[in-house]
Amino acid sequence: MTRTTQLLHPPRPPAPTRAAATVLLLRDSPDGLEVLMTRRSAQASFVPGAFVFPGGGIDAADGNCQAICQRRATQDDAALTEAVAAIRESFEELGVLLARHADGRWASQADIEAMDRTGDFAAQCQARGLTLATSDLYVLARWITDRDLAKRFDVPFLVARMPPGQSPVADESEQFEPVWVRPAQALERHQAGNFFMIYPTIRTLERLQQLATVDAVLQACAVTEEPLFTSCPRTGLLAGREARFMEHELPYGELALVCPDGQIAHPLDWQSEQPVPLLKNVLRLTAPNPGVMTGPGTNSYLVGDPSTGFIAIDPGPADAEHLDKLWRAAGGDIRFIVCTHSHPDHSPGAAPLQALCSPKPPILGLPSAPTARAASHFTPDRSLQNKELLALTTQAPEANLSIKTSHTLQIIHTPGHAANHVCLVLLEDGLLFSGDHILNGSTTVIDPPDGDMNDYLNSLDLLHQLCAEHYIQFILPAHGYVMGGPGQEAADTITRLKNHRLQREAKVMAAMQANPQGTLDDWLAVVYSDVPPRMWPVAKRSLMAHVARLEALSVNP
């Protein structure tokens, strides 16, 4: 786990969350699926003036309504209480009542008009012989308010079909202007600036618009009692403005590392002018070589601090300005230069960076194999050994004690993308520098013969094992943002990556079986039909690696 002493921002525990519930009331229309939304009061303490779904905080009394609830066998007490709260809130705010009479009839408009929307909800339902239709509510999503906000909620977004014969009427206190709207229409109106919505509402509607009917929504949610997605967004800065991201989006892991308590302080713009602090002991400087194969550019990393000196990881191409900035960011004190592999966007900068330093640090890595392309020739000053440790240590006297600071990188041989590829684990902080073995936003190319798909998958298994062994929570790739999070996100990233590769390999096998006399180009169009054709020449290299692995497995099953 990352040492708190290395965090850039002092700990700031987020405000506690309050339990709440909301419900998306749905109906089918000739124009498509519609959802009921309402505008919050301009005087509301939370998101005033926003168009929202009906809902609010869970009251203590909501947990005492089991006697008047319909319940699915798989619906636990917590889910039942959330459904009760959503039903009560939709009644109080919009006069919509998800409840039935004993004979199965839905509560009528007359029932609703006879009830006091500010009175004891459960008692009134019981007096009229109404049973809450809690079994008709399913969880679509769960949102946890961002860590940077002072008022926070933990909210299931439930879905239900609008009861027949009822008409929404706003309470004109908390809610105004109930409106039926298609998800795409709400998003368009928000974009136009006349239908203000907050981030969770927007992202929920983006997911909802992918489903065409109420039945489709309910069927998707009824598969499990778990939400289709859960999110507690994180916020960074793009072009100086706040930008929020969900867990599956590229910058999320980086924000989790740099601003774990939700501080809105980290710039996410890709640039090559200034080093970007990720921790007190980790800097990233991205080389000015963006492209199809390099993404925003090659990430060079500096590990260490002024008291220990630095280890430079992947100096990148031989770009004089980039290397000068890297050298200056380290104060000229670079103790080791490590290349994760010999590809031309990673290792050519090693020698000119070494020449800037005095004394000259050794260039470390593995020499390129005979299978490497000519542009990837690389000979280090010394070959690294698997599991070798590179340590930076200093001792500073303080209060008659000797306080030791250490930054220790363990070398892990991970062939696959290249025969001489290594990854590095920063042991004290649980960080994995993955080179090109794991990238953020794309899968790496496996280019035979130097690249080997079987080696690549085996190396993924090794890295997954190391996540548990060394409590690795974050992956720092050579291209793209940091990946991971405070839990098992790093290991889960590796699992998803391997599953993706195996799913692609299953398509390769199917294409080969369907057309055994086909060529690589014949199979390529089938296997990579989901990839733009302009990328097929690159994808063809990985296809070759999959084919070679399948052929090897057929000979040695």
> Both 307 and 174 in a single domain?
no
b/e string for 9-31 if b means 16 or more Cβ within 10 A? Answer: eeeeebeeeebbbbbbbbeeeee
Report the C-alpha gap between 287 and 321 in whole angstroms: 9
Here the CATH number for the domain that contains residue 98 is 3.90.79.10
- The answer on pLDDT for 323 being more than 70 is yes
pLDDT exceeding 90 applies to what percent of the chain? 91
Q: Which residues contact 530 (CB under 8 A, 6 or more apart)?
A: none
Query: Of 171, 205, 232, at which residue does a domain stop?
Result: 232
Give pLDDT tens digits for 357-384: 999 999 999 999 999 999 999 999 999 9
- The answer on pLDDT for 397 being more than 70 is no
124 found inside a domain: yes
Q: Which residues contact 276 (CB under 8 A, 6 or more apart)?
A: 267, 283, 284, 285, 286
Query: Of 196, 215, 232, at which residue does a domain stop?
Result: 232
> Both 207 and 294 in a single domain?
no
- Average pLDDT value for residue range 14-35: 96
Containing domain of residue 79, as a range? 17-232
> Both 524 and 480 in a single domain?
no
252 found inside a domain: no
Phi first, then psi, for residue 414 (nearest 5°) are -130, 70
> Both 149 and 285 in a single domain?
no
257 found inside a domain: no
Q: How high is the pLDDT of residue 403?
A: 64
Q: Lowest-pLDDT range, 79-83, 362-366, 497-501, 532-536?
A: 532-536
> Both 156 and 287 in a single domain?
no
Q: Using CB atoms within 10 A of its CB, is residue 463 exposed (0-12), middle (13-18) or buried (19+)?
A: buried
- The answer on pLDDT for 407 being more than 90 is yes
> Both 296 and 409 in a single domain?
yes
Give pLDDT tens digits for 179-224: 999 999 999 999 999 999 999 999 999 999 999 999 999 999 999 9
Q: How high is the pLDDT of residue 399?
A: 45
> Both 212 and 324 in a single domain?
no
6 found inside a domain: no
Domain total in the chain: 3
Query: Of 167, 199, 232, at which residue does a domain stop?
Result: 232
> Both 482 and 544 in a single domain?
no
User: Does 475 or 149 have the greater pLDDT score?
Assistant: 475
The pTM of the whole model exceeds 0.85: yes
> Both 168 and 297 in a single domain?
no
> Both 525 and 485 in a single domain?
no
Helix (H) or strand (E) holding 123: helix 121-127
> Both 104 and 202 in a single domain?
yes
Residues in the chain: 557
Here the CATH number for the domain that contains residue 424 is 3.60.15.10
